[in-house]
Amino acid sequence: MLKIFKLSINIIKLSPIRSVIIFVLLLTLPSCAQKANLPCPSVSIIDDASIIHTYLSEFGQDVTDIKFETYIQQVNRVCKYKNNQVTVNSRIKIISKRGPRNNDIISKFDFVVAVLDKENNILARKKFTSTIKIDEISQRGEVIEDIEQVIPIRNGQRGMDYKILFGFELTPTQLMFNRNQKMLGILKRLP
């Protein structure tokens, strides 16, 4: 059972310029984490919330009724320790494909980022909205989202005692659909 605790954890979406600067600096400069060999918190994609299908109508569930199929392809992270806290900069690659009967060129969706402790208690959770412009020829698009998490390290714990999870904000129906598709071995429906 998950417990929700209020903790002073900052989760923010970075501007494109700031995110490039932070990733370059963290990857090229020696950090405390590298000197002390301190591990970063783990990052992962929530399996059941890694993909979201939106439909042209609420009644359509056929592949021809798909408006957009959007999925999180990968998450990377770098971290830096300072003053009993770890700052984690995560980069999320999200891809969206347009359905065969959809003429829209903008895919809009919500995704969530959560920080958990080693007992799987949710310490922080934040929802973000993102958009992807779909290419007219390839019928797909992608976006890179940069998210910064500042996690205070509790006494007796280390950065590796925390996890950061990413996934889409799903309705109960969408979650059930994903689980059923997974049981059938079919997550992605569009080529």
Helix (H, G, I), strand (E, B) or coil at 19: helix
Sheet holding 106-116, edge to edge: 42-45, 163-168, 106-116, 122-133
Question: Residue ranges of the domains in the chain?
Answer: 10-184
What is the Cβ-side half-sphere exposure of residue 72, based on CA atoms within 13 angstroms? 26
Residue 55 CB burial class (10 angstroms; 0-12, 13-18, ≥19): middle
Q: Percentage of the chain surpassing pLDDT 90? A: 67
For residues 28-46, give the mean pLDDT. 69
Q: Is the pLDDT of residue 9 over 80?
A: no
Helix (H, G, I), strand (E, B) or coil at 164: strand
Tell me if 167 sits within 8 A of 38, measured CB to CB. no
Residue-wise pLDDT tens digits, 128-175? 999 999 999 999 999 999 999 999 998 888 899 999 999 999 999 899
